[in-house]
Amino acid sequence: MKIYFSHGKESGPWGTKIKRLARIAEDRGYGVESIDYTDTIDPELRVERLLQALALERGSFALVGSSMGGYVALAASAEVDAQGIFLMAPALYIPGYRRQRYPSRCAHIEIVHGWSDDIIAPENSIRYAKEADCTLHLVSGDHPLNNSIEIVVELFSSFLERLGS
């Protein structure tokens, strides 16, 4: 199985958080791919880029997204059969984004969001988790979750364990 990472609007494909989580996935035998979206801030172009990459995938895969990358992963999941989705402070219900509803073909979705996030309100993740009936982890932390990275690492490791079983 391969894990596809989608980074946030102002980060890159191999930022600190993605590198840390990718190492965990690789240590567990997963393949890892991190899509580079740095040439566009258009969320819909990013969704299309992820879907193009997934169209070439012949094996099973899971999606991981942070901030705008969370929107990208969740939006793409309406059109592909992901085994799981792990979202960190996803940019959901953002005015100006084309999609305001998030149907997904994936039954295994987990969200981590910081209570002190002043970029994307934690209430957005609460709303989605309630609508999707998925797992939501509200943690002490801000938007990048850097101060909560150890908790994020634990939650991601547990997500991968459930994915593999």
Where residue 164 falls among pLDDT bands split at 50, 70, 90?
Answer: confident
User: Has this prediction a pTM greater than 0.85?
Assistant: yes
CA atoms of 108 and 66, how far apart (whole Å): 17
CA atoms of 23 and 13, how far apart (whole Å): 14
How confident is the model over 147-164, as a mean pLDDT? 96
CATH of domain 2-164: 3.40.50.1820
Give the torsion sign (CA, 37, 44, 102, 93): positive
Collapsing DSSP to helix, strand or coil, 4 comes out as strand
Buried b (16+ CB within 10 A) or exposed e, 116-129: ebeebebebbeebb
